[in-house]
Structure 1
Amino acid sequence: MRARIDEDAKGRRLVSEACVEPCAIERGMRIIGGKWTGSILWHLKDGPVRFNDLSRMIGGASKKMITERLRQLEEQGLVARQVMDTAPISVQYSITKFGRTALGFLDELRKWSEELPNGLNR
């Protein structure tokens, strides 16, 4: 962060904190701020989940979108993919040790959103 000093129309000094791009919040949001990302991590917290089961857990997301997010999470090291030697072949996903580091603040986000006034939790 760095301080930025501006003046308003009356010549008063205004000091604001400006993020040096990308700031820590922006970096974090780039990793887990994608639509369905937090939900995927949250649903993997209790153990490995097969793809079809995961897609059922996340209502409203298409299988294409879930696949896309899972690939991104795998590339970032948050999720591990395992191909099962079954007939037919199935794939399961699990959260990595690094991915588990996000669960604390995702739980805080869950608690915060549960306490929102009725008009805001849509």
Structure 2
Amino acid sequence: MKSEANPDKRGRKSALNDIYQPCPVERGMRLIGGKWTSSVIYHLKDGPVRFNELCRQLSGASRKMIDQRLKELEQTNIVKRTVLAERPIAVSYELTEFGYTALEVLEPIREWTERHEL
């Protein structure tokens, strides 16, 4: 199988550049493998959740950490942010259609963890 040549930073095409591309597992882990990221996704599985409620559910994470993860997930189209009220500000988060596909990975991990009592 012949690989497509990817251009380097200077626009040169070389098949050698392909060896520096992360494997599919690494690319997936970059999306959902960060600290608290998968927990945020999992807590949104049943529908929209307000920010404060999500903070209560993830009591071990700081509000700043949760906010950072939500922003990252919003940028990657895994989570949708909805402003419910301007004053006082009320925001809810929910999984996008793409975000729900992450549960196809996370649910087997949950089952594996429970099965092995980890």
Q: Same fold (TM over 0.5)?
A: yes
Structure 1 gaps, min length 5: 1-19
Which whole-Å CA distance do the structure 2 matches of 1:26 and 1:56 have between them?
A: 30
Equivalent residue runs for 1:65-76 within 5 Å: 65-76=65-76
* TM-superposed deviation, 1:105: 1.5
Amino acid at match of 1:25: V
Which whole-Å CA distance do the structure 2 matches of 1:35 and 1:24 have between them?
A: 19
The residue that corresponds to 1:35 in the other structure is 35
- RMSD in angstroms over aligned alpha carbons? 1.6
Kindly indicate whether residue 102 of structure 2 is the aligned counterpart of residue 102 of structure 1: yes
Structure 2 gaps, min length 5: 1-18
Kindly indicate whether residue 82 of structure 2 is the aligned counterpart of residue 82 of structure 1: yes
TM-score (normalizing by structure 2): 0.79
Q: Runs of 4 or more off by more than 4 Å in structure 1?
A: none
* TM-superposed deviation, 1:54: 0.3
TM-score (normalizing by structure 1): 0.77
Q: Deviations over 1:13-45 (max 9, x none)?
A: xxxxxxx43001010001101011111111111
Equivalent residue runs for 1:6-85 within 5 Å: 20=19, 21-85=21-85
Q: How many residues in Structure 1 have an aligned counterpart in Structure 2?
A: 100
Which whole-Å CA distance do the structure 1 matches of 2:48 and 2:61 have between them?
A: 19
* TM-superposed deviation, 1:115: 2.0
Structure with greater strand percent: 1
Which whole-Å CA distance do the structure 2 matches of 1:85 and 1:68 have between them?
A: 21
Which whole-Å CA distance do the structure 1 matches of 2:112 and 2:34 have between them?
A: 19
Amino acid at match of 2:62: S
* TM-superposed deviation, 1:86: 5.7
Which whole-Å CA distance do the structure 1 matches of 2:47 and 2:33 have between them?
A: 22
* TM-superposed deviation, 1:85: 2.2
